[in-house]
Amino acid sequence: MNKKKKKMSLTKKIVIICSSIFVTMIFAFLFLFYGPIDSFKEFWITSAMTTMNHRYLATWLYSDSYIQKVLKNNSIIEVDEISNPNDITFRKYTTTIYRNEYEKQILQKDPDNDLYKLINVSGKGYQGFLVAIYDPSRIHIATTSKLGVAGENILTVSKREGAIIAMNAGGFYDPDWNSNGALPHGTVFSNGKVVSDYDDARVGGGFIGFNNENKLILGNMSKSEAIKTGYRDAIEFGPYLIVNGKRSFVKGNGGWGIAPRSAIGQRQDGIVLFLVINGRLANSIGADMVDLCDIMENYGAYNAANLDGGSSSELVINNEIINTPVAAGKYGLRDMSTFWVVK
């Protein structure tokens, strides 16, 4: 009888403990998602609404009107200008005196490597990689070889192109967030030619690309205006982070949430910056638009723009994956349409 009572007593304790844990979890859930902490709700909604296939994490919990209210309070106002190529003057440095730690990291090249330098970057909640590229004439847009039919992963493209560095570029048509990466958003220039021109009203952003003088030109313009601008390699995406040395105004977190990120920029001395931030990891939640602006500004970008992010953020050097991609494919990679490559 005593053994039976002890067994019942132990069972009762387990039930009480499990019930207490369950009730605590319910209260914690309600407090976080419906309580007074607006910053958490903004983080949750903006992050979910900018993913490919996890928007339900916001739409299941909040009304459409509340989601729109949050997105409106988290936005980015871009500088309404087109990059002035005359402001970019290519320089060769002989100095050993640097204005700050960021300039030192950029200008102090690795031994026997005049093409690029890989720099670790980190901040509150994020970790990633910045690549300083010293010769922008070697930067081009590469596309999937099955353009309009299927995308390819970055390793396949990097090997085929003989690329030393490869990074994801623009977005692509993704109905129901389940496409194969076949159709790039907007107009794509490669080696001076328009190689794709898919008119998608959801593309957003403007042109991001290099002219024949190897200068990064950012500008919201039509296709015909882009042709007149003389792009040799360009995609359409955004938002712009810095234009002509002027930083975009970011309200809240910019409306893009916190996630893996990719960005491109160019300093006034012509050095190009590739940036990839890890996200959705224990040691790196990801970055928002404020973080991207800060990083690019710290490293001296005169023009800079956000690229496709989330599960598309990928960086490869010498056919080795440098960051930690989070897509569902092999090695965390996904099939995409367009890539920045350095050859």
pLDDT at 216: 98
- Residue type for 186, please? G
DSSP 109: P
Residues 215 and 281 in one domain: yes
Residue 182, classed as helix, strand or coil, is coil
Q: Is residue 162 located within the same domain as residue 300? A: yes
C-alpha to C-alpha distance for 286 and 257, rounded to whole angstroms: 9
How confident is the model at residue 10, as a pLDDT?
Answer: 67
Q: What is the pLDDT of residues 165-201, one digit of tens each?
A: 999 999 998 665 556 888 999 999 999 999 999 876 5
Q: Does residue 58 sit in the same domain as residue 178?
A: no
Looking at residue 56, its pLDDT comes to 73
Bridging pattern class, strands 116-123 and 126-133: antiparallel
CA 31 to chain centre: 31
Do 224 and 265 lie in a common domain? yes
Indicate whether 292 and 249 sit together in one domain.
yes
Q: What is the DSSP string of 203-246?
A: --SEEEEEETTS-EEEE---HHHHHHHTEEEEEEE--EEEETTE
Residue for token digits 């922008």? Answer: 136
238 & 273 share domain? yes
Examine the domain organization and report whether 89 and 100 are in the same domain. yes
Residue 163 and residue 157 in contact, taking contact as beta carbons nearer than 8 Å: yes
**Which residue's structure tokens are 């109905």?**
175
User: Where among 75, 104, 137 does a domain terminate?
Assistant: 75
pLDDT at residue 51, rounded to an integer: 60
Per DSSP, 331 falls in state G
- Specify whether 160 is located in the same domain as 47: no
The encoded tokens of residue 79 equal 């500088």
CA separation for the pair 25, 87 (Å, rounded): 56
Residues 83 and 165 in one domain: yes
The total number of residues written for the chain in this structure: 343
In degrees, to the nearest 5, what angle opens at C-alpha 256 toward C-alphas 84 and 276? 65
The confidence score (pLDDT) of residue 79 equals 94
> Which strand (E) or helix (H) includes residue 165?
strand 165-168
CB 330 within 8 A of CB 155: no
Total structural domains in the chain? 2
Handedness of CA 178, 202, 49, 332 (dihedral sign): positive
- pLDDT of res. 189: 97
| Single-letter residue type at 32 | L
- Are 8 and 101 in a shared domain? no
The H or E element that residue 296 is part of is helix 289-298
Segments forming the whole domain that contains residue 70: 2-75
Note the pLDDT of residue 61: 73
Please indicate, yes or no, whether residues 294 and 321 belong to a single structural domain of this protein: yes
In this structure, which amino acid lies at residue 116? Y
pLDDT along the chain (343 residues), means of 10: 58 73 70 68 69 68 76 85 98 88 96 97 97 98 95 97 98 72 93 89 78 98 95 96 96 86 98 98 95 98 97 97 94 96 98
**Are 110 and 43 in the same domain?**
no
147 close to 195: Cβ distance less than 8 angstroms: yes
